Amino acid sequence: MKLPAFIPRLLILPVMALALWIQIAGATSPPPNVVFIISDDHHWRDYGFMGHPQVQTPHLDRLASQSVVFRRGYVPSSLCCPSLASLISGLYPHQSGITSNDPPRPPGGKHPAPNDPAFQASREPYNVLMDQLPTLPRLLSQRGYVSLQTGKWWQGDFTRGGFTHGMTRGSRHGDEGLKIGRDTMEPIWDFINESQHDQKPFFVWYAPLLPHDPHTPPERLLAKYRDLAPSLHVARYWAMIEWFDETCGALLKFLDDRNLADNTLVVYAADNGWIQDPQSPRYAPKSKQSQYDGGLRTPIMVRWPARAQPTDSPHLASSIDLAPTILHAAGISVPPALQGINLLDAKAVASRRSIYGAIFTHDSQDMARPAASVRWRWIMEGHRKLIIPNPAREPGAVPELYDVALDDEETRNLAEESPEEVKALTRRLDDWWTP
């Protein structure tokens, strides 16, 4: 299949050429194992350590106490497929070309069912893009890592992301991979045991469909929240979060029990936010798919007991930083296209000025042109957040400027009273990416 012309040459190099980017540090100590934990549809406040008064997340709270924590973390786009592609590659959606959940709608306006072969075939251009990206599994393999995919995975078979092991064979959300967390953790235990037997460093992608709907928590957890929540829908969502937390606790305990925790880099982020609608199973406005913090913000955590002191950072972080952070820890050079920073480099973190992102249509408008699907672009500088609409996709929309330190629900638009600030931030946003 011919690749779209917009993809940078760097990103379509054959996988073997990735070795040219690798500069293995001449260290005598083994590289760290890596566990990447990703929650799914999870609001940034809905953790014990983030101050939620009811939701209990003791295992994530403990992880936070042992980590470099960025409470002001963000994903560049508030939709799962492009967000997950950014996490595995360290590239913004407009760089990777994976901007949307689904391909353009066919004539008639309705996609076939997700398990329909015709629908799977229509997603193939995105799968081909994933084939060519310098993903973490591909880059880490150059230093001998084995890698396991579990949970949410959109881009075809797990091998298309460069994983050596995996659960997903090709459906839209992840087919067999979605059993992880909800039904079993055994594939992770087996993979880690095998990698230890073979004396190979490992990379685990743990992206369970939690707390993502369907919100079907165990009754024992739902009973805890039924009388605390404003509705049964909210109670189910809260219980799902604690269920996710329990699975994280099991994973972290497994590392402890096998004396692997000290030299295992554990990183955490949510793929996007979620505000539970009290009246339905759906999400409320200003959360998933939106340009607001309810969809974009997530705590980001990095734990590496052997090398990193726990810190509660006041600085901004982006999910595109996690790939460079992992590569630095593994002693592997970062591909030039990656714009993130090493979150364990205190100087780089403190000197960062801005973070950026873009919101795209749920269904791509043109899979060969990322700019065709842009709805909004945004920039955060300090505590000031500017949102710029794309007139072609959001006619009549106006720029929005918020001070999220004073107004974290983004209710007071300051753009009209701060025109010079809007101009300055727009210039910096355009310097980052102009569609």
**What is the per-residue pLDDT for 173?**
86
The Cα 425–Cα 386 span in angstroms is: 7
Percent of the chain with pLDDT over 70: 94
- Residues paired with 376 in a beta bridge: 359, 389
Cα atoms in the Cβ-side hemisphere of radius 13 Å centred on 392? 9
Residue 368 placed within a domain: no
| Residue 227 clears pLDDT 50, i.e. is over it | yes
Residue 19 placed within a domain: no
**What is the per-residue pLDDT for 14?**
41
Q: Where on the phi/psi map is residue 231: left (φ > 0), alpha (ψ -120 to 50), or beta?
A: beta
Summarised one tens digit per residue, pLDDT across range 41-77 is 999 999 999 999 999 999 999 999 999 999 999 999 9
Domain that holds residue 235: 29-352
- Under the banding of pLDDT at 50, 70 and 90, the label for residue 22 is very low
**What is the per-residue pLDDT for 406?**
98
Residue 429 placed within a domain: no
The Cα 113–Cα 91 span in angstroms is: 29
CB count in 10 Å sphere of residue 176: 16
The Cα 77–Cα 271 span in angstroms is: 9
Q: Are 207 and 193 in contact (CB under 8 A)?
A: no
CA distances from 144 to 175, 182, 187, 195, 332 (A): 28, 30, 20, 11, 11
- The larger pLDDT score, comparing residue 240 to residue 29, is at 240
Largest pairwise CA distance in the chain: 63
The Cα 203–Cα 277 span in angstroms is: 36
Residue 210 placed within a domain: yes
**What is the per-residue pLDDT for 18?**
44
The Cα 234–Cα 175 span in angstroms is: 27
| Residue 292 clears pLDDT 50, i.e. is over it | yes
The distance of Cα 367 from the centroid of its chain, to the nearest Å, equals 21
Summarised one tens digit per residue, pLDDT across range 102-151 is 999 888 778 888 778 888 888 888 999 999 999 999 999 999 999 999 99
Residue 247 placed within a domain: yes
Question: If we measure between CA atoms, which residue out of 433, 267, 262 comes closest to residue 342?
Answer: 267
Question: Who's near 4: CB < 8 A, 6+ residues apart?
Answer: 97, 125, 129, 367, 368, 369
**Average pLDDT over all residues of the chain:** 93
Residue 16 placed within a domain: no
Region 372-378: what's the mean pLDDT? 98
- The larger pLDDT score, comparing residue 308 to residue 8, is at 308
* Look-up of token digits 């002693």: 331
CB count in 10 Å sphere of residue 427: 11
Residue 418 placed within a domain: no
* Look-up of token digits 């692997």: 260
The DSSP result for 120-183, as a single string, is: HHHTHHHHHHHHHS--HHHHHHTTT-EEEEEE---SSSGGGGT-SEES--S-SS-GGGGGBTTT
Q: Are 166 and 150 in contact (CB under 8 A)?
A: yes
Residues for the chain: how many in total? Answer: 435
Which CATH number does the domain housing residue 177 bear?
A: 3.40.720.10
Q: How many domains does the chain have?
A: 1
The Cα 60–Cα 48 span in angstroms is: 8
CA distances from 400 to 292, 317, 404, 431 (A): 10, 21, 12, 19
* Residue 24 in tokens: 């293995």
Residue 123 placed within a domain: yes
Region 306-310: what's the mean pLDDT? 95
Helix (H, G, I), strand (E, B) or coil at 70: strand
Question: If we measure between CA atoms, which residue out of 194, 273, 291, 193 comes closest to residue 237?
Answer: 273
- Under the banding of pLDDT at 50, 70 and 90, the label for residue 1 is very low
